[in-house]
Amino acid sequence: MLVEIKGRRALFACLVADVSEEEPFRASFPDRAPIAIFKADGAFFALDDTCSHGQASLCEGFVEKGTVECPYHAALFDLRTGAALTMPATEPVTAYAVEIDDGKLYVVVGPT
């Protein structure tokens, strides 16, 4: 569901309670690719769920020190920027700003 949060377009992704440091959340949408929601060191991050190197779900990866490791070939992606930090991935995944409102987590997808 597309909503306006602080003057920007955002998608409702999940409840805050749906995400933990141990269990990322894969937010699915009817009209776009899934987005992975991570919690690390108390902060939330959102990245395109599909690895830029292949068809792996980053939600199934290993989160450590501000990165997620792809479960297929172990490329590391920066949780804040989506940058590919190690081979074999060379392209970033899209990173999204996250907004929390009333226990709900939204992913910012653009200006209004």
Q: What Rg, from alpha-carbon coordinates, does the chain have?
A: 13
Give whichever of 77 and 106 is closer to ligand FES, judged by the CB atom: 77
Contact status: 53 vs ligand FES (CB under 6 A): yes
Distance CA 24, CA 3 (A): 23
Distance CA 85, CA 67 (A): 9
Residues in contact with ligand FES, shown as a per-residue x/- string from 78 to 97 under the rule CB under 6 A: ----------xx--------
The helix/strand/coil state of 50 is strand
Residues in contact with ligand FES, shown as a per-residue x/- string from 62 to 81 under the rule CB under 6 A: --------x-xx-x------
- Residue 100, φ and ψ in degrees, nearest 5: -110, 135
**In the complex, what is the shortest distance from the CB of residue 47 to ligand FES, in angstroms, rounded to a whole number?**
12
The helix/strand/coil state of 9 is strand
Tell me which of 11, 19, 51, 95 binds ligand FES, using CB under 6 A.
Answer: 51
One-letter identity of residue 82: G
The contact set with ligand FES (CB under 6 A) reads 51, 53-54, 56, 70, 72-73, 75, 88-89
